[in-house]
A and B are shown apart, each in its own frame.
Chain A
Amino acid sequence: MIPLWMYLLVAALLFCIGIYGVLARRNAVAILMSVELMLNAVNINLVAFWRYLAPQDMSGQAFAAFVFVIAAAEAAVGLAILLFVYRTKRSVIVEDVNLLRW
């Protein structure tokens, strides 16, 4: 049997890689992909805790399902904003999009 901490460790590593992508990448599409990685790390944690600690109670799976919904909404809105920014600025490099900066 695989101990619970191994799942948690992989999820933590995945989350940290995602944070690195969000902080260090310049392309907005790459940043969105990194956010998806972070959401997946959260999902691994939710399902692993559900399986090991409360397999009869469906809360863990239900939470994971809600994370799917949020991820889909985030991807749709994020990419729509990205297309709009690309049309107005001709760039998806986040440093070029500084309209709201003073």
Chain B
Amino acid sequence: MIELNAQTIAFAVLSALVLGGALGVVTTRNLVHGALWLVLSLLGVAGYFVLLSAPFLAAVQVLVYIGAIAILIVFAVMLTRSMTSLGEVRNRQWWLSAITVILLFLLLAAGIILPVWGRGAPGEVTTLSATVGGAAELGAALVAGDGFVLPFEVASILLTAAMIGAIVVARDEEDEQA
């Protein structure tokens, strides 16, 4: 089955970080704590990327998600004072959501586990390839003519449009007229 070595221990610890952080995000009352739980969960995902030999993505995860998005969320919590106006955390249909989500998870788990359950597991990968593409190959694929150059440019335009849109939407018009 699964032998106990550094990799499996790291996987277990990271899984606890990811799932514990996620549970903290959806259950905590104080949204500043929620943002900190989110950082914990995102850090666990970055650890997964290291385990999956994608260190560049792990660095991007820390820079973009923890460094930018989580901080942006903390700003939003502060600016909207949503941690002081607490009230009820969940809406009235939360139990319905919980049942739906549990059913969905059971469905997904069946889809994941049944194909590799018992009888030699035909589709199961038993040895990992030693040669792995790194950051250099990723960069080359992103700008190669037969690779991802068009999606790359579209993503750039999307990001620019989103940033301009965010500034336009969030601008305080009353302040400008004064």
Q: List chain A positions with a Cβ less than 8 A from chain B.
A: 1-10, 12-21, 23-30, 32-34, 36-37, 40, 43-44, 47-48, 50-53, 55-59, 61-62, 64-66, 68-77, 79-84, 86-87, 91-93, 95
Contact = CB atoms under 8 A, between A and B. Distances in A.
Contacts of A66: 148, 151, 155
Interface of B: 2, 7-8, 11, 15, 18-19, 22-23, 25-26, 31, 34-35, 38, 41-42, 45, 48-49, 51-54, 56-57, 60-61, 64-65, 68-69, 72-73, 75-77, 79-80, 82, 85, 87-91, 93-94, 97-98, 100-102, 104-105, 108-109, 112-113, 116, 124-129, 131-133, 137-138, 140-142, 147-148, 151, 155, 158-159, 162-163, 165-167, 169-170, 172
A64 B101 CA distance: 24
Interface of A, helix, strand, loop or mixed by DSSP: helix
Contacts of B69: 36, 71-72, 75
